[in-house]
Structure 1
Amino acid sequence: MNITVLGDGAWGTACASLLAQNGHQVTLWCINNAVAHSITTTKVNHLYLPGISLPSSIKATTSLEDALKNSFIFEAIPIVFMRDILIQCAQFKRDDTLWISLSKGIENDTFLFPTAIIRDVFGPETTVAALSGPSFAREVAQKEPTIVALAAQSQSTLKTLIPLIANNYFIVTPTDDLVGVELSGALKNVFALGVGLLSGAGFGSNTQVLFVLRCLEELKALFVALNGREETLYGPAGIGDLMLTCFSCQSRNMRLGKMIGEGKNLASTLAQNTLTAEGLNTLPSICAHAKKHTIILPCCDALFSIIFKNAPLENLLAALRSENHR
């Protein structure tokens, strides 16, 4: 099968490697010319996934026209750039394209999840799916056993995609709960910022776990409001990804939160870091949406006030004690 991955970051590259390991011919669209050259000449993404040798069946390109010739498109674009790149794709895409989102987050202003952005750009009849779960890119590329959720509204879409993706180390659980899977994928990055912030400020495991439990309550409130399903919340895309992202030093969002907790300047930290921390983009959106719909999220609101308004850490500690969590 000929498959395209849009996005040359760590996760897009790891997904391309996974698909190539499964026997597919993979076109990896790179926004970065240097990354495309690196993969073409050395079969390594030295910028985003250094030290990992990629299969020879991966072809790197910087041409969207070339990349969009295939009917299976896995997009792994940071959500802040996603709409602009998809608009560029519109002139080249096939009518029968099946889009699989690897992106996590919520678009500012619209409060759209990644698959909804795809449909907003290409039309409501576009076939979409979302792949999400506890899956660090490097470990997937190293073939470590991993479980994820694949969400699509159509059973036929799920039956088509699972054989393309799953193998003996990459376990794929199907669901039709697109909302639950994408909501979990967005919020876990926000919560990881908070765990990192507490760690950086000197708080230990007790307080960090208390924070995660409070966050789980807030995520459940959002599930109820947005009609996500409870089994998703307690599955790989929900609590599984939440635990991985909050408590591993591999987590970009947790590491960024820790730097903030240590008192480092946010702007300079971001300028020095080539990796994307989606939680920063998602946090303002989720707080604005919750306020608009009177959903009470004490921890999210406290994080927003600390990160974006220089409020004291006491705001978050007060949220942990809030009666709204009881």
Structure 2
Amino acid sequence: MVKKYVTPIVLLFMVAGCSSSMTSGNQNEEALAVGRLTTHASKLVEKAAVNVSIDLIHPTTKDVVSSFKPMLTKNSEEYAQELSKLADDLANQLDQPMVPVKLNNGQITGGKSRVVLDETKLVGELKNVRPLAKTLELPLQESAPNVSQEAIKGIDDVVIGSYKTNFNPTVKGRVENIAISSNEINQIVLGPGDRFYFNLVVGERTVERGYQEALEIVNKEFVMGIGGGICQTSSTLYNAVANAGLEILEVHSHSRSVGYVPAGKDATVSWGGPDFKFMNNKDYPVIIKTIVDRNSGTLEVQVLASQQTAAKI
């Protein structure tokens, strides 16, 4: 009887033992393999995140403007600040104000588009950049001067705003500076929505460009400087533009009163400093005209429009 059941029992224990051993061995090996695989994959992801660089492309020229390396911690505050700084740096590099066109012998000439980087949109795109993406086109907005040859017909028919100031015709340096700067803004045409930046249009006041020494106000004091008197041009323009009802974007007053306009009606400008800016908020184009009389010592700035559009006023 004993022999009859020994063999099956032994076999049973042997089978049970082998099954337990095999199962245990397989579990340990699988866990170890998975653990190794996960660690290896994580390292690959981290390595890819560090090494992958995205080229930021100019939409018009297709040039690589900058490069950017995404981070794994996309929701961190530090990362958001880094993206905002990148967008701000690129905006300082790429943004360009509009240069308006001029009317020359009946034809519109010159002019450059206004270029603005959409910083908010760029930050959003960088935060959600596609995996394995190699390039990203910068969201630049370009606005060309809104003027056509057809739209300027009869543009100097009617004066919609003007202003006149006086100067001493015997002060040669000041007279010359007023004349040069007035000529720079003469015949400027602004279409609906077009902007005018005085410093950009008039340019730097240098001896090479014909500007001379004359009195100017610096820190509440009258001092000699190249281009003195140019603020009379900007102030006369400011009052003409205001009388025409155009939108003033930026204006600054002198640190002390000036004699050619009432207090608070002046517009001081300096290269690399204060500027005078305005926009044509009308639904029709306007033209700026300057009249300098060196003999009588007067400067007049007019803002004009066509007879047809002026009838809407």
Q: TM-score range by the shorter chain?
A: under 0.3
Q: Which has the higher contact order (CA 8 A, sep 6+)?
A: 2
Structure with the higher strand share, 1 or 2: 2
Q: What TM-score does the superposition give when structure 1 sets the normalisation length?
A: 0.25
Q: Which has the higher helix share?
A: 1
Which of the two has higher C-alpha Rg?
Answer: 2
